[in-house]
Amino acid sequence: MVASTVAELLVQRPLGLVFDIDGTLSPIAPTPGEAQLYSGVGELLTRAKQHAHIAIITGRAVLDGARMVNVDGLTYIGTHGLEQADGLPPQAQVQLLPEAQEYREAGTYLLDLVEQEKLPGCLVERKSVGGTIHYRLAPDPEQMRQRILSLLREPAQRVHMQLSEGKRAIEVRVPLHINKGHALRSFVQRYKLQGVLFAGDDRTDIDALLEIERLHDEGIKAVGVAVQHADTLAELLAHADIVVQKVEGMVELLRTIVEELEKTA
Ligand SMILES: [Mg+2]
């Protein structure tokens, strides 16, 4: 049995299923490079794409997110909506939003500043524009967070880049009003979706859950899922229709969805 909200969603066509990666389809690992999809997720997405349009919306670069998920025929949206590929690169071309091009240099400059400091336990992940500084492995992560923020605050302002925060990570982002919510809406509009589910676990996913609420108000069957971990923000949970426990709970829900789609096909 599936909850009534999900059951009503799954009969809509066109249907869309949209997922974050880290903490949603893949357990959080000590470094982003070590993270892997939870066992069986690739197969479930392959089955699900027979019945629904599927998008992955991640803070990772498109190339990185697509490499991790590695299922062809999905829409991969990276860097919170800045870049996108329909299918797996390199066959599928990665498209960067044109208005983001001019910030490439500023992003590189700020990440260079961090690397030059040789901060212990910090990893710099570079993206098409900007990137992410991971400080999970720093000896004192909270102190490191402060140190990175004070290092970057003034230079970021000067070159018109924005800083935002995720779990033990600081992101260097373009000052464009782009987020997972906009990416989700574009995906819905592109395929004229009548039903859509979004699942995520972190601060940047709140924008997408807020967009799910707006889409719902506009008459689209829209369902928001929060994946709860020990440190999940109350705000994320507050905007979700369904809360699942950890990646295991998310994969369980995905399995239920796929089985239901196959049953009613
Ligand atoms: Mg996440």
pLDDT 10s digits, 177-211? 889 999 999 999 999 999 999 999 999 999 999 99
Ligand 1: centre distance to CA 122 (Å): 19
Whole-number Å distance between alpha carbons of 213 and 232? 19
Ligand 1: centre distance to CA 110 (Å): 23
Give percent of the chain with pLDDT exceeding 70. 99
Mean pLDDT throughout 144-164?
A: 98
Taking 60 as the threshold, does the pLDDT of residue 233 lie above it?
yes
Residue 126: what residue type? R
Residue 103: what residue type? Y
Full-model pTM: 0.87
Beta strands 131-134 and 123-126, pairing class: antiparallel
Ligand 1: centre distance to CA 26 (Å): 8
| Bridge partners, 195 (sequence order) | 15, 221
Residue 158: what residue type? R
Ligand 1: centre distance to CA 77 (Å): 13
Residue in this structure with the two tokens 């869309």, named with its chain if needed = 16
Domains and CATH numbers, the chain: 4-97+178-264 (3.40.50.1000), 99-173 (3.30.70.1020)
Ligand 1: centre distance to CA 163 (Å): 17
List of residues 6+ apart from 98 with CB closer than 8 A: none
Beta strands 95-96 and 83-86, pairing class: antiparallel
| Secondary element (H or E) of residue 149 | helix 141-158
Ligand 1: centre distance to CA 201 (Å): 5
Ligand 1: centre distance to CA 78 (Å): 12
